[in-house]
Structure formats: structure tokens, C-alpha cells
Amino acid sequence: MKDHEPDAYPQPPKRTPVAEKETALPNPALIGSKLFYYSVDLPVTKFREIIDSIRGRNKYYYYHQNFRRVPDLTECVEGDYLCYYEAEMQWRRDFKVDQEIVKIMQERLRACQTREGPSYLQNCSNELKQFDEVAKAFDARYGDLGAFASGRRCLMKQKQRMLEQQQQA
């Protein structure tokens, strides 16, 4: 008796087999796809290629600016308004960066939900967890500061947080 029967578990075909037409009727799906291709897809692609060829002649770049770190509000001597100003600007830049981070996490979760469809609660648990952490952290740090948010007010909020932690512990 052979110990290996290759036909029992056949390998899947490496290429999609060409479907053979069994009826004489025209295939409406094929007609529809060809219609869409010639009326919408092809003109749009050609237009895009033309525009890209025009634009591609003079390429130029833009960069993300790297800012140096300056001493924080906690490291400023009292009455040194220059130090206050630099710390405030740095805080504002960090605030913007944190907002963008939250947006990126939202984008990831949205993409995951679009991919998975109705079963997103189960399949994108990683993204859900990450977004949850990031949103909670953002809320804890910048939560109810309001429209006149400032580095000083954020520092005071942090002080309140630390006092509460101390009281709980």
C-alpha cells in the first residue's frame, strides 16, 4: 500500500484558471466592467499621467522642521519672561504634535473598521486598545483646558493630577 496518495489532497492551482463560457448569452458583468473601464477608468488614468508628466519636470521638496528643545516652564527662574515665552512656544508645538498623534490613531482605527466590516470589534482589538490609551492620555493631559490653553494651565492641571494620585495612595 502506498503511504502517500498525492490526489487525496491536491495542491491548489497556481494561477486562476480561465473560466470557460458554457452559454451563448453575453456576460453582463463583463460588459459592465468593460464599459466602466473605457468610459471612466481609462480617461482618468490618461489625464493623471499627463498631469504627472507635466509636473514631474520640475520636482522640488518640502521638509518637516526640527525644533531644538528649550528649558521647560518648570526649569525657568521666576520673573524670566523670555524663558516663559520659549517654554510656552515649545508647549504649543508639543500640543500640536499630540493632536496629530491622536488624529493618526483615529485614522488607523477608521481604516481597520473599514477593512473588517461588521466584525471590527473582534478583529481590530489592537487598534482599539491603542486608540483607547492614546485618547485617555490626551484627555488626562490636555482635557478641559479650553480655548485659552497655556503651558502654565497645563502645568497646574498636572499638579492637580499628582495631588489626586497622592491622596489616593
Partner 1 sequence: MVGMSVLWSAAALAARLNPLKRSVPVGTLLSGSALRTEKAVVRYGSHGKRMFIIKPSDYYDRRFLHLLKFYTLLTGIPVAIFITFVNVFIGEAELAEIPEGYEPDYWEYYKHPITRWIARNLLDDPAKDYEKMMALVHMEQEKAQMRLLQLEVRRHMRQKGDGPWFQHETLDKSLIDYEPKASPDN
Instruction: Give per-residue burial for 56-89: e unless 16+ CB within 10 Å, then b.
Output: eeeeeeeeeeeeeeeeebeebeeeeeebbebbee
Report in angstroms how near the CB of residue 99 gets to partner 1 at its nearest.
18
Distance from C-alpha of 47 to C-alpha of 55, rounded to nearest angstrom: 12
Cβ proximity to partner 1: between 15 and 64 the closer is 64
Examine residue 148 and tell whether it contacts partner 1 (CB under 8 A): no
Cβ proximity to partner 1: between 82 and 147 the closer is 82
Examine residue 77 and tell whether it contacts partner 1 (CB under 8 A): no
> Largest Cα–Cα distance in the chain?
95
Distance from C-alpha of 72 to C-alpha of 158, rounded to nearest angstrom: 14
Examine residue 65 and tell whether it contacts partner 1 (CB under 8 A): yes
Examine residue 58 and tell whether it contacts partner 1 (CB under 8 A): yes
Per-residue mark of binding to partner 1, 79-118 (x: CB under 8 A): xxxx--xx--x-----------------------------
Distance from C-alpha of 96 to C-alpha of 93, rounded to nearest angstrom: 5
Number of residues that bind partner 1 (CB under 8 A): 19
Contacting residues toward partner 1, per CB under 8 A: 51, 54-55, 58-66, 79-82, 85-86, 89
